Structure 1
Amino acid sequence: MVEIAAQVPEEIADWFAGRGWRVRQHQADMLAASQAGKHAMLVADTGAGKTLAGFLPTLAAFCPSVLNGAAPPDGLHTLYVSPLKALAHDVQRNLLTPVADMGLDIRIETRSGDTPSDRKRRQRSRPPQILLTTPESLSLLLSFPESFALFAGLKRVVVDEIHAFATQKRGDLLALALSRLQAIAPDMQRVGLSATVADPEAFREWLAPWGDVDSVALVAGERGAAAQVEILLPEEERVPWGGHAAIWAIPQLYRRVCECRTTLIFTNTRFLAEYIFQKLWEANEQNLPIGIHHGSLSTEARRKVEAAMARGELRALVCTASLDLGVDWGDIDLVVQMGAPKGSSRLLQRIGRANHRLDQASRALLVPGNRFEFLEAWAAKDAVDEGQRDGEDFRPGSLDVLAQHVMACACAAPFDEQQLLADVRACLSYSWVDQSVWERVLSFIATGGYALRAYDKFKRITRDGHGVWRLTHPDQAQRHRMNAGIIVDSEMLSVRFRNGRSLGKVEERFAASLTPGDTFQFAGLNLEVEQLRDMELVVRACRKAAMIPSYGGLRLPLTTHLASRVRALLVDRAGWARFPDDVREWLEVQDWRSQLPGPDNLLVESFPHGGREYSVYYTFTGWNANQSLGMLVTKRMEDMGLMPGGFVANDYSLAVWGLKPVEDPAALLSPTILQEEFIDWVQDSYLLRRAFREVAVIAGLVERQHPGKRKTGRQVTFSTDLIYDVLRKYEPGHVLIEAAWADARSRMTDIERLGDLLDHAAERLEHVQLERVSPLAVPVMVMIGREAVPQGAADDELLLEAEALASAAMERDMPL
């Protein structure tokens, strides 16, 4: 403690002592790293005071004992970057207390898409000492000429929850922004914070400028109390065969809500958030205050719920990943995960929202929707108990994001191409960019590319004879700022009452299906459509029955780490005794009638059912990879004359059917399928077009927003499809076609996991031919014909169909 006290200013030490706290070793280590002039990466459990540790050097710089009579630092001193707007606002609330208690002269403000435009203008000319923002808002700030003066005195950048976005496109954008900031403020220190990093060294390398890992101190936090994780099981019924909404659990869940002070209930989709909220409210006999929170709700609605939670006024809150990260509400005593957790790190992050104290165990309840989800929940619980985390690998930075960043730099000021290339290469994500790639990116921004250079609308920057680039017209800056961003969701329409009060947004494709008089449920209300005009749905509250809006977007992937754990559970026969009787019986009958897919084999079952021939592939590669495999296998079946009829997929398996039986599945799974059919399929499918739409918007080739007008999703799709067809025919090597292929391979098809599966398929494939459906096949078989029905809405039908299939699969003709 003597060593720690010597490093901490007296004002901070007294503040800790006054609260009965101590400065933890990792907090002191973060302060020491800053004093030594080093960047720092802190990995510490939730509740360990990570955020305060990241800000301690900033607070210390404003302490009178450190200033020794000098004036406090003026201008922007510290930049805090988080992946969520809610987290930035929560951090602001929690920082204001110590700043006020210590009497420090520090202004703290937030900046995001929700910040009023007049405040944004004022922040550029008179910034606070601490600014809390997101990667997108930071990139926009860097696009203004004032950015050089604004950031010239910047001392620190604190990147919170770094694991949540560093491996994605938002991380690419932030990496480029950090390099830009480092060029403006060479002495700026970088800080990364996380509780759930599986490979700290990889993130340390990502954080380091110019790959100088030694310049980044790696700080490990004190270990917290082990989380208490429980799996909820039906009291009288069996664990369901199919479905994902886990509606069976609502009565039991409501009793838990009644017993707790505050319960945070996570769902994996916005649809399920609305659906679970509706079902929970129907069970709410005591009229408890229960809220809902997801990214499509209006800013006003989200802020209202967040404030109510901070004041301890809600007994339960149903939410999505919009509240995954770092929000510090200490009165939450139970976190619930509805449906499959999909990854141990994600689950650990969500569990950490309970108690939010290092010395108190967080309590979590996992509610599986079906039997495979029960195994996944068990595997995730084991991983959490063992402290094992999973995560995504880093991949090369995306070219569409690079194009957006270059355009932002051009909006700020003319740039020298070699100097900017040096800045770009200073970050790990783009260290691979060579002169050839760089020239292609610049050429694209300057002309749109070879096939589009005849059109003036695509000419955004121009170069003089000395390698200096500038905007072709000042208006380009406004156009860029109106359209910049990384998150390209489906086009959204505003939902509002006639008096102008906004409720949030629903997807355009859903809104297009509505006519006046139709009803839907949103923001916890039943709404009737009065009018659809421009980009707005005008509604009124009603008491009529209502459907729930459906949402597009990619599904949360089952991590490789968790998939391996589920496979291990399947073959651990001695461990089945821990499972409920019906789950244990399910596995025992499967083991007797067929086989179980283990860690080192690929099980394929074939059987007749309902006049068709089925094959089920137990891949455990996640939904995206299984969808891709289904497309490829049915195409190859067609070429082989097997007359395929279709397929369905979940995270664990793929079911394919046709009129003729599959005698040799190995022939359908040869690795050449990725070299031949995959390319043809992706080019001819919607996937590459969808990927191109996203990269074209991110790169600024197609603009969604014009002054006073916003394009509809249909107009954006028409524009991008037209350009895609031109480029595919006349310039197939265009930089955005390359970027679209990278997206299609990674996010939309999960080609890496699919490739690993196919590489080993021939040597580890085990084909079992059965007379009827197997127990393990029932969860995927009940999905047939239901994929177009929103999750939850068809659960009762699914369960009835599952029982019919299960009676055949589980028929007790095995010896007892």
Structure 2
Amino acid sequence: MSLPPRFAEWFAARGWSPHAHQLALLDAPSDSLLIAPTGGGKTLAGFLPSLIELAGGWSGLHTLYVSPLKALTADIGRNLARPVADLGLPIRIEDRTGDTRQAQRQRQRTDPPQILLTTPESLALLLSYPEAPKIFAILRRVVLDELHALAESKRGDQLMLGLARLRALAPDLRVTGLSATVEDPPALAAFMGRAEAPPETAPQIILADPGPAPDIAMLATARPAPWSGAGGHYAIPEVLAAVEAAQTTIIFINTRAQAELFFQALWAANEKNLPIGLHHGSLAREAREKVETAMAAGQLKAVVATGSLDLGIDWGAVDLVIQIGAPKNVKRLVQRIGRANHRWGAPSVARIVPANRFEQIECVAALEAVHARDLDGEPRGPGPLDVLCQHILLTACAGPFEATSLYREVKTAGPYRDLSRAAFDDCLDFAATGGYALKAYDRWQRLKERDGMWGLRDPRAVRDLRMNIGTIVEAEMLKVRLRGRGAPLGEVEEAFAATLVPGDTFLIGGQTVRYDALREMVVEVSPNPAKQPKIAVFSGLKLAMSTQLAHRVLDIIGTPARHVVLPPDTQDWLALQAEVSALPRPGLLLSETFPFQGRWHLALYGFAGRNALQTLGLLLTREMEEAGLGPLGFLATDYALLVWSLDPVTEIDPLLDPARLKAGLGDWLGENAVMKRSFRNIATVAGLIQRNYPGLRRSGRQATFSSDILYDTLRKYDPDHLLMRITRAEAARGLVDFGRIEEMLARSPERSHRLLDRVPPMAAPLLLEVGQVPIKGQARERLAEAEAARLMAEAGLSLKPDLGRDLTQGAA
């Protein structure tokens, strides 16, 4: 199909020609999924059919646009305003997000615009109103932007349930999904498609020309990457030089804490006062909007950001992306690369700064995957039941429903295509009564059946249910305080505190403390300077390296012929490892026992991600304790696990029995707060616990107190309660990543355990991570380098005089 003359003239006036994938969407006979590179005009392609249809006039809501970010919604609104104004189209475009004024929200329920831009949460709210059938009855199109990002979380499941409801209200609805980075297009199409529909109505997958290959490489630095650490500060001079040479740069860093530290270090060295901003999710909305406005106006040379800028806000002036630290995920790296040269036909320019020697290998693996267009991703599980529970309650807010009809409607949503009637009835029973153990409590008696129709028992509950819409449960920070002394030492993430049991030790504020108790959401500790920390770092749930990327890293390390792609010093390091011990490789799980500073150490190279290896450390030390080996502590990275003990581990197989580990996981989960934390999140999404009340927001402390009581009650009186079943499954899969441990053991049928008389080269960086030597003051980096040199000398690797040479040589 060609563009109507009016639109063709508009394209020509701007010097554009419509892309093939933009025209293909005009011809799509049913739902469609467009996969196109960043800058390829995806958004305009998604809206073209709507603009053409609306040119003839339309009264009411015609097109609904859903995006994962409010900032992206606002950006789309600005971009759409131009063609609408240029073409003189009779179209009103409005947004509906948490930032929309209350008066405008109320008006939209009776007088909706032709195009409404919204988020999954705001759509769920709209669908909960009795006016929903009238608002959406004539809806013709839905555009789902950045669909891959939505599909990776419960927000996507919530959106698909909303889409099932929209399809029931508007049977002629056509849905278009837009995405730039998709590892499995058919799976994503099935996610957004009409489940159980005829094959001819399945979403049509439209693949755009991927465009030129990106210009991506490691950033050349005068100093080598350190042996350990995650800051990337050694590269600050080269980062500043790259920022100065480029027009506008986005500097991506994986965590908010690291972004803050890098931003401070960047400004300390910014002698030319280059305008550089900071953007991440913990900043106030006003601060984020200020940076976004300055970037759009070309007033900043660079912005240091986390995942808050991963998605497609269109800043055409950005011509360079710098990734500090290994990306951990190829798909995320590709998404970030696309922020540079956000226009068609221009290669994206990106540079990567590995934070340490292990990350050098990971970055080389990621570069290879990008050039091979080999994206990673984890297979999605079935639609989560806590999200379904919330959906059932919100459906009741809109009016009475018949159970069988709602069940059939829910099964049309892609994630819930395999939902059994028994599972649906469990969710309905929970929504109605709270479940067996809670039926006696009036506050959870929320639904009642009358004449075959389910409705709210008390209509006054509508307000509370609507105020608690959503699947995002914010992480809580807990203060750490010396027991009985009152002075706080700092804060740790609740996710970290949840893993502690009394007697565990950890580092905070430069000192080792012993965990005593959790009282009123304060972590009480005692000084314990004589004991080495059991868990040396507390970083919550950091981004874990993807399984596919881990396999690539392992293949590079385990194949000496491939070492030529690595920097020379890293080649020397791995060559010495092969000489002193062995190299881990695909199919082989390598572990080593060696003495160091009066302790025995066990290094296990699992390449399973930090979360999984931290869980393995907890389980392995339990096994070592039962074996009488006297474990003292452990450290987990994305690549390896290091355990130190009084006695050596001489055999590894007995400690890695999958059945015993799984049994130990169940015991361990029962002993600490991981299950309670997971339960609180699930209970909040399912509607059992409310965080928001009229006029106030419940504190994390209050919500946790309520959820702990509920958890203890259900564990004792109703252990098979729906929410307890969901909690057990999600805790094992998400918070502790036990599935990655099982995958690691399954892909490594061969085991090699080496008994050594000195520190092996690959373990030396792990010892530096533990922080054996306290280093403070301005001489910190020099002392760290000296300690690295001493450790590597002990490992047998003499550091050459030209250690500071450019480590990117040979890495292209």
Q: TM-score, normalised by structure 2?
A: 0.89
Aligned with residue 766 of structure 1, among 746, 749, 752: 752
2:677 paired residue number = 690
1:272 paired residue number = 258
Distance of 1:510 and 1:86 partners within structure 2 = 35
Aligned with residue 330 of structure 1, among 310, 316, 320: 316
Which is further off, 166-175 or 660-669?
166-175
Superposed counterparts of 1:745-760, under 5 Å: 745-760=732-747
Distance of 2:93 and 2:755 partners within structure 1 = 66
| Alpha carbons 2:481, 2:489 under 8 Å: kept | no
Residue 516 of structure 1 and its aligned partner are, at CA, apart by 12
Secondary structure (helix, strand or coil) at the match of 1:7 reads coil
Secondary structure (helix, strand or coil) at the match of 1:664 reads coil
Work out whether 1:17 is the aligned partner of 2:9: no
2:389 paired residue number = 403
Distance of 1:787 and 1:439 partners within structure 2 = 58
| Alpha carbons 1:670, 1:758 under 8 Å: kept | no
Work out whether 1:718 is the aligned partner of 2:718: no
CA deviation vs aligned residue, 1:203-230 (integer Å, no higher than 9, x gap): 1111111243532111110121110112
Residue 455 of structure 1 and its aligned partner are, at CA, apart by 1.1
Residue 335 of structure 1 and its aligned partner are, at CA, apart by 0.4
Work out whether 1:372 is the aligned partner of 2:335: no
Distance of 1:417 and 1:693 partners within structure 2 = 27
Structure 2 vs 1, CA of residues 786 and 49 (structure 1 numbering), >3 Å: closer, same or farther?
A: farther
- Name the aligned partner's letter for residue 81 of structure 1: V
Which is further off, 163-172 or 182-191?
163-172
2:465 paired residue number = 480
- Name the aligned partner's letter for residue 568 of structure 1: D
CA deviation vs aligned residue, 1:45-99 (integer Å, no higher than 9, x gap): 1111111111111111123xxx3xxxx1121111111112221111111111111
1:256 paired residue number = 242
1:145 paired residue number = 130
Aligned with residue 161 of structure 2, among 173, 176, 198: 176
Residue 238 of structure 1 and its aligned partner are, at CA, apart by 2.5
| Alpha carbons 2:792, 2:798 under 8 Å: kept | no
2:440 paired residue number = 454
- Name the aligned partner's letter for residue 749 of structure 1: V
1:679 paired residue number = 666
Distance of 2:137 and 2:708 partners within structure 1 = 43
- Name the aligned partner's letter for residue 96 of structure 1: A
Structure 2 vs 1, CA of residues 211 and 764 (structure 1 numbering), >3 Å: closer, same or farther?
A: farther
- Name the aligned partner's letter for residue 721 of structure 1: D
Work out whether 1:39 is the aligned partner of 2:25: no
Residue 789 of structure 1 and its aligned partner are, at CA, apart by 12
CA deviation vs aligned residue, 1:441-496 (integer Å, no higher than 9, x gap): 111111111111111111111112x33111121221111111221111124xxxxx
Secondary structure (helix, strand or coil) at the match of 2:181 reads coil
Secondary structure (helix, strand or coil) at the match of 1:296 reads coil
Structure 2 vs 1, CA of residues 810 and 109 (structure 1 numbering), >3 Å: closer, same or farther?
A: farther
| Alpha carbons 1:243, 1:795 under 8 Å: kept | no
Q: What is the RMSD computed on CA atoms of the aligned residues?
A: 2.7
| Alpha carbons 1:158, 1:190 under 8 Å: kept | yes
| Alpha carbons 1:490, 1:552 under 8 Å: kept | no
Work out whether 1:76 is the aligned partner of 2:68: no
Structure 2 vs 1, CA of residues 559 and 144 (structure 1 numbering), >3 Å: closer, same or farther?
A: same
| Alpha carbons 1:674, 1:755 under 8 Å: kept | no
1:54 paired residue number = 46
Residue 779 of structure 1 and its aligned partner are, at CA, apart by 2.5
Residue 303 of structure 1 and its aligned partner are, at CA, apart by 1.5
Structure 2 vs 1, CA of residues 178 and 800 (structure 1 numbering), >3 Å: closer, same or farther?
A: farther
Aligned with residue 582 of structure 1, among 566, 569, 591: 569
Superposed counterparts of 1:598-677, under 5 Å: 598-677=585-664
- Name the aligned partner's letter for residue 208 of structure 1: G
Superposed counterparts of 1:523-542, under 5 Å: none
Residue 786 of structure 1 and its aligned partner are, at CA, apart by 8.5
Structure 2 vs 1, CA of residues 186 and 743 (structure 1 numbering), >3 Å: closer, same or farther?
A: same
1:547 paired residue number = none
Work out whether 1:306 is the aligned partner of 2:292: yes
Residue 518 of structure 1 and its aligned partner are, at CA, apart by 11
Distance of 1:143 and 1:795 partners within structure 2 = 57
| Alpha carbons 2:225, 2:234 under 8 Å: kept | no
CA deviation vs aligned residue, 1:761-799 (integer Å, no higher than 9, x gap): 5x3111111112211112222222589999x99978765
**Runs (4+) off by over 6 Å:** 510-520, 786-790, 792-797
Structure 2 vs 1, CA of residues 737 and 61 (structure 1 numbering), >3 Å: closer, same or farther?
A: same
Aligned with residue 783 of structure 1, among 764, 769, 784: 769
Work out whether 1:363 is the aligned partner of 2:342: no
Structure 2, unpaired ranges of 5+: 492-520, 522-536, 801-812
Residue 392 of structure 1 and its aligned partner are, at CA, apart by 2.3
Structure 1, unpaired ranges of 5+: 1-5, 492-506, 521-534, 536-549
| Alpha carbons 1:335, 1:354 under 8 Å: kept | yes
- Name the aligned partner's letter for residue 150 of structure 2: F
Structure 2 vs 1, CA of residues 508 and 688 (structure 1 numbering), >3 Å: closer, same or farther?
A: closer
| Alpha carbons 2:448, 2:456 under 8 Å: kept | yes
Structure 2 vs 1, CA of residues 512 and 349 (structure 1 numbering), >3 Å: closer, same or farther?
A: farther
Residue 381 of structure 1 and its aligned partner are, at CA, apart by 0.9
Superposed counterparts of 1:96-495, under 5 Å: 96-212=81-197, 213-215=199-201, 216-235=203-222, 237-464=223-450, 466-491=451-476
Distance of 1:519 and 1:9 partners within structure 2 = 63
Q: TM-score, normalised by structure 1?
A: 0.88
Work out whether 1:806 is the aligned partner of 2:792: yes
Structure 2 vs 1, CA of residues 720 and 797 (structure 1 numbering), >3 Å: closer, same or farther?
A: farther
- Name the aligned partner's letter for residue 615 of structure 2: S
Distance of 2:713 and 2:125 partners within structure 1 = 31
CA deviation vs aligned residue, 1:641-663 (integer Å, no higher than 9, x gap): 11111211011111112111111
Structure 2 vs 1, CA of residues 807 and 736 (structure 1 numbering), >3 Å: closer, same or farther?
A: same
Aligned with residue 736 of structure 1, among 720, 723, 735: 723
Structure 2 vs 1, CA of residues 603 and 74 (structure 1 numbering), >3 Å: closer, same or farther?
A: same
CA deviation vs aligned residue, 1:563-621 (integer Å, no higher than 9, x gap): 11111111332332332222121111111111111122111111111111111111111
| Alpha carbons 2:110, 2:135 under 8 Å: kept | yes
Distance of 2:643 and 2:731 partners within structure 1 = 23
Residue 810 of structure 1 and its aligned partner are, at CA, apart by 3.5
| Alpha carbons 1:786, 1:794 under 8 Å: kept | no
Structure 2 vs 1, CA of residues 806 and 234 (structure 1 numbering), >3 Å: closer, same or farther?
A: farther
Distance of 1:144 and 1:642 partners within structure 2 = 62
Structure 2 vs 1, CA of residues 803 and 145 (structure 1 numbering), >3 Å: closer, same or farther?
A: farther
| Alpha carbons 1:448, 1:459 under 8 Å: kept | yes
Work out whether 1:85 is the aligned partner of 2:70: yes
CA deviation vs aligned residue, 1:75-132 (integer Å, no higher than 9, x gap): 1111111112221111111111111111111122222222232222222222221111
Distance of 1:577 and 1:698 partners within structure 2 = 50
Distance of 2:281 and 2:716 partners within structure 1 = 38
- Name the aligned partner's letter for residue 441 of structure 2: Y
Residue 415 of structure 1 and its aligned partner are, at CA, apart by 1.0
- Name the aligned partner's letter for residue 31 of structure 2: H
Give identity over the alignment, percent. Answer: 46
Secondary structure (helix, strand or coil) at the match of 1:263 reads strand
| Alpha carbons 2:35, 2:182 under 8 Å: kept | yes
| Alpha carbons 2:93, 2:113 under 8 Å: kept | yes
Work out whether 1:567 is the aligned partner of 2:567: no
Secondary structure (helix, strand or coil) at the match of 1:278 reads helix
